[in-house]
Structure 1
Amino acid sequence: MKFCNNKKISRSKFVKGVAVAAVYCACKPFNRLAASEGNSEQNNDSKVHLAAVCGTFCGACPAYIAKHSDEKQIKMRLQKRLSAGPVTAKKSIPDPKWMDGLLCDGCLSGGELAPHCQKCPMKVCAAGKQNVTRCSDCTELPCTRIMGFINTGLLHRAEYLPNLEKIRKMGVQEWVKYEEERWRCPRCGLPMSWYDAECVQCGEPRSGKLFPL
């Protein structure tokens, strides 16, 4: 038998060559899978979808915590609220029930979104522009859209512009890691929500790295 280079090979060598090729082809998908797992291992801490278009950290949002917390944490949060009694409303702090029943996977997750996130004007605006994923990518920042939200007076919205500036300087992946650590209880490490005065698990007051309530 001949190959295209016109050199003859024996039947035994031909069979051996076919066998080697078969083994290589069989192993190739596993090699790709291993490489994929390796990349996944490197990227498994990447939660860039929690860096919202507006610059908020979705990981501290009550709707995200409600969906991604275990049952124990959800019960602790409910018990904490019930034991706290009535809360005096403030312009800068929303009613504790403001996101009851809402579930969210994060602004840019591609998964389930809370209704107000689905209709977010900043998200709609960014989607209609080239090379703009977040407001930090936009040359028009700050615009009337984002300032309209900031001017509502809610404390977590006052962080939009400082956060977007940090994203520009740090890069989104490093910023998300920084925020994830910032929004943990200083003592036990449990994720905290924007308006938690103290940890629902151990009672530790919120970190001084967070905006004061």
Structure 2
Amino acid sequence: MLNWNEYLQLLVGLLSVVNPIGIIPTFISLTTNRPPQERRHTAIVCAFSVAMVLFISLLAGEPILHFFGIGLPAFRVSGGLLVMMMGISMLSANNDNIRHTPEEKAESYEKDSIAIVPLAIPLLSGPGAISTTIVYAHGGQSLEHFLLVGSVILSVSVLVLAALLAAPKIADAMGRTGMNVVTRVMGLFLTSIAVEFIAKGLGELFPVLVKIFP
């Protein structure tokens, strides 16, 4: 079971990689011509979908890795590299392309429902969020551990819902510059967590490194 600091780190890391503030401009642009009731429904379905994807990752992520013969240390390193790429991109306040290609974004404008694809997947609960959840889920096998990680996932999903419901007000209050500042700060947290992932994964893959660099 993880200690309390690591659960707090999971909350900060998962919130940073999901980045509900950073998704607000995309959400507004994709729903600009839709009635308020439909935007509200889109926000609710999106937040629920984010929760479901992350809960599935929590419960089934490790068995899936075992099925494909992937060890957790290797997954820590690969997941850390992915999260680091996202963090570095966020530091320049330009993380759209790593989450969502221009072709996918153009296609999104033609969709009747954008709540699940592309908003929930891959923009919010994409590979980075899934990798982070799986890595931290491996920290324990007790019911208490899974309940605590589940509580973190639920908290992040509620914050996603709140951000999407209040998207126009947040955008007006913060402006593009303010949202970019928040994104950069989250990117810094995310890059630091990615370094922890990679260092721990390499230490498990190559125990000799731990002896050389304790």
Shorter-chain TM range is under 0.3
Instruction: State the TM-score, normalizing by the size of structure 2.
Output: 0.24
More helix per residue: 2
The one of the two structures with greater contact order (alpha-carbon pairs below 8 A, sep at least 6) is: 2
- Over alpha carbons, which structure has the higher Rg? 1
